[in-house]
Homo-oligomer: A and B are copies of this chain.
Amino acid sequence: MAVAKAETVIEAEPRTIANRLEEDIALGRILPRERLIEEELALRFGVNRHVIRQALMDLETIGLVTRQKNKGAMVRDLTPEDVINIYAVRELLERKAAELIPLPTPPEVVARLKDIQQRHSQAADAGEFANVFRLNLLFHKTFFAACGNPHLADAIQHFALKAHIARSLTVGDPKLLKRAIEEHAEMVRYLERGDRTNLVRLAVEHIIPSRDAYLETYRRRFGKAASASG
């Protein structure tokens, strides 16, 4: 990874580190199969090795990295089967949540979503990828939290995170990004209008392009068969 001096990290909590690493993985700054060495990361973030350790364990339970005893952690390599399966669960959960969101949606929720959407769009225009990542995450979190079932919302969040490895391959695509942002705006409009049918349809369709882009990329890169190797 070759990082020289410590980045200043406001908080040294494992959660914060884990989030930063998630971001690095999602943005493709750390690639699948890349090793994550505890001491290196400790140096980079300027924290104790135990904090890193904890963060890596967290990432393991999320499913973003794999760890082998005495061998260390590496970014997980998702096969096309994995991606298809993960997205199948995402579709199931997110459809359900979209069906549960109360219509008309409380105005403060709509207001918050509009605000996030706007900032997301601005970050995209400015090319601030880290912020794009965070605001996209926040939009989805806020949107699905509105379903009223926190446990369902958690599960959705969980699977969105899992999918981030897949998204790393396609995160640079400006066309996909533009489309995603437009669809966010559209979803908010459906909330306001109380259009359940279109809301559910779009919530489900919204995540498909990044899945297909991943599958396409993978196919081109490694051939048709899913030579998993893990």
Spell out A's residues near B (CB within 8 Å): 54, 57-58, 61, 82, 85-86, 88-89, 92-93, 96, 149-152, 155, 158-159, 162
| Contact status A150-B61, CB under 8 Å | no
- Write the nearest CB–CB distance from A65 to chain B, whole angstroms: 15
By CB atoms of chain B within 10 A, which of A54, A89, A159 has the most? A89
Q: Tell me how many chains of this kind the complex includes.
A: 2
Q: Which residues in B have their C-beta under 8 angstroms from that of A162?
A: 151
| A52–B151 alpha-carbon span in the complex (Å) | 26
* A-B contact list, 14 entries, CB within 8 Å: A54-B57, A57-B57, A61-B61, A82-B151, A85-B149, A85-B151, A85-B152, A89-B149, A89-B152, A89-B155, A92-B92, A151-B162, A155-B155, A155-B159
Q: Which residues in B have their C-beta under 8 angstroms from that of A86?
A: 151
The closest CB in chain B to the CB of A13 belongs to: B69
The closest CB in chain B to the CB of A149 belongs to: B85
Q: A58-B61, A61-B58 are in contact. Are A151 and B89 (CB under 8 A)?
A: yes
| Contact status B155-A88, CB under 8 Å | no
- Write the nearest CB–CB distance from A50 to chain B, whole angstroms: 9
Q: Which residues in B have their C-beta under 8 angstroms from that of A89?
A: 93, 149, 151-152, 155
| A58–B20 alpha-carbon span in the complex (Å) | 20
Q: Which residues in B have their C-beta under 8 angstroms from that of A158?
A: 155
